[in-house]
Amino acid sequence: MEIIRISDIKNYEGKEVEIKGWLYNKRSSGSIKFLIIRDGTGFIQATLIKNEVEKEIFEQIDNIEYESSIKIIGLVKKEKRVPLGYEIIVNNIEVINKAEENYPISLKEHGIGFLMDYRHLWLRSPRQNAILRIRAEIIKSIRDFLDQNGFILIDSPILTPAACEGTTTLFETDYFGEKAYLTQSGQLYNEASAMAFGKVYCFGPTFRAEKSKTRRHLMEFWMVEPEAAYVDLEENNKIQENMVTYMVKQVLENNKRELDLLERDLSKLEIIKVPFPRISYDEAIEILKKDGSKIEWGDDFGGEDETILSQKYEKPIFIHRYPIKCKAFYMKPDPQRPDVALCADLLAPEGYGEIIGGGQRIDDYNLLANQIKEHNLPRENYEWYLDLRRYGSVPHSGFGLGIERTVAWICGLDHVRETIPFPRMLNKIYP
């Protein structure tokens, strides 16, 4: 007899196995009792037949509360009527820890506010399990793509002495008597790493103290940020579309069961192939105005604007060359038109909006020094960043992909709060 995980059950048909897990649900049909057992890799039906197990084992089920931790031993049998296609005919059960009565999250409907307060328990449900498994596959596929394409993982610090994209959305903290901030992005440090290794990426949590309650915003979120020397804007965009296409392909191949559970329309994902459409900021403004938007040239896009644009395309869409004043101090102006930046945002289709922001960085020392001054940034905090232009500066580009927004798109979710194990939102930091 082997101790196995539910995800491997198909390999053990006709064999006696042991599964260690938790009781998710149970029901009785007179002489037969059905348990739903979860073990973190999946959910399986465990069937007890009255005349085939000891009376004591058959009767003890009535006193086992939901989410009690248990071990079951039984025979694996093919069963087409259950979701997994297999069940276990139980011959023995051992209770490891009997849960308390009145498990807070019953199988009835609960409001989202209630569920968020019990996020630590809500994670155990099939839907949340599916979402976070897809999140894990998205992260794995992105890292696999970058690793296979010559990028090396170089970690960037979380505590920084200066802003990356402006000071208004920083979380400030005391650093032994000096001001420090939780990072908005690892990009500036990535640029230093790229000058040492050529092609790099960092992956980790980032923080924005933006007082927003929209379905797309979190205070703490995760980003993967590649950066590459000798790469221009268009090459940067090609890396993005190839990476996103690979990611979608891997999720379709490895998470079909989870996508089906979420009732995701797979046809919307199956059409994600390169190349992606590209339109300029100018063209996007015209589209929005025709749609009734009051946006003016020079305004940054809001969530509603992104929704309108991304609903018009079946694939992700690049919007390139935003006005310089909309973008961060390090964005390189277009030499042919200095009022716009060599940048591009990638909007996910179906109204999901921006999932990637990227562009070409200023590689000229004097221009960067002037931008730091124009943005009223403390030059002493950026001397090391200026050094990258003093010593061997080259054209270089990069981008940041937000994991949570990407998961929301791939899973077809309405809100990013379900895309991360413990979301940090405005006025919510518990649990």
**Please, what is the average pLDDT of the chain?**
95
What tens digit of pLDDT does each residue of 46-63 get?
999 999 999 999 999 999
**339 is written with which tokens?**
């009022």
Domains with residue ranges and CATH for the chain: 2-97 (2.40.50.140), 119-418 (3.30.930.10)
Distant-in-sequence, close-in-space partners of 406: CB < 8 Å, separation ≥ 6 = 138, 247, 348, 355
pLDDT at 166: 65
Residue range 69-112, pLDDT digits in tens: 999 999 999 999 998 999 999 999 999 999 999 999 987 789 99
The one-letter code for the residue type at 352 is Y
pLDDT at 162: 79
Residue 417 has pLDDT above 80, yes or no: yes
**Strands, DSSP E only, in 114-169?**
152-153, 159-160
pLDDT(168) > 80: no
Instruction: Summarize pLDDT for 178-232 with one digit per residue, the tens.
Output: 999 999 999 999 999 999 999 999 999 999 998 988 899 999 999 999 999 999 9
Q: Of 159-173, 322-336, 369-383, 406-420, which gets the smallest average pLDDT?
A: 159-173
Question: Residue 165: is its pLDDT beyond 80?
Answer: no
**According to the model, what pLDDT value does residue 163 have?**
74
| CA dihedral angle for residue 323, residue 309, residue 214, residue 110, rounded to 10 degrees | -160
β partners of residue 22:
38, 69
Give per-residue pLDDT as tens, 366-388: 999 999 999 999 999 999 999 99
pLDDT (tens digit, 9 = 90+) per residue, 288-304? 999 999 999 999 999 99
Looking at residue 167, what is its pLDDT?
65
- Is the pTM higher than 0.75? yes
Which segments of 209-260 are extended strands (E)? 220-229
Residues 242-281 pLDDT 10s: 999 999 999 999 999 999 999 999 999 999 999 999 999 9
Over 90: is that where the pLDDT of 429 sits?
yes
Cα–Cα dist 348/419, whole Å: 16
Crossing angle of helices 403-411 and 233-254, in 10° steps, is 50
Q: What is the mean pLDDT of residues 151-163?
A: 93
Summarize pLDDT for 28-42 with one digit per residue, the tens.
Answer: 988 999 999 999 999
In percent, the amount of the chain with pLDDT more than 90 equals 94
What is the Cα–Cα distance from 117 to 306, expressed in whole angstroms?
30
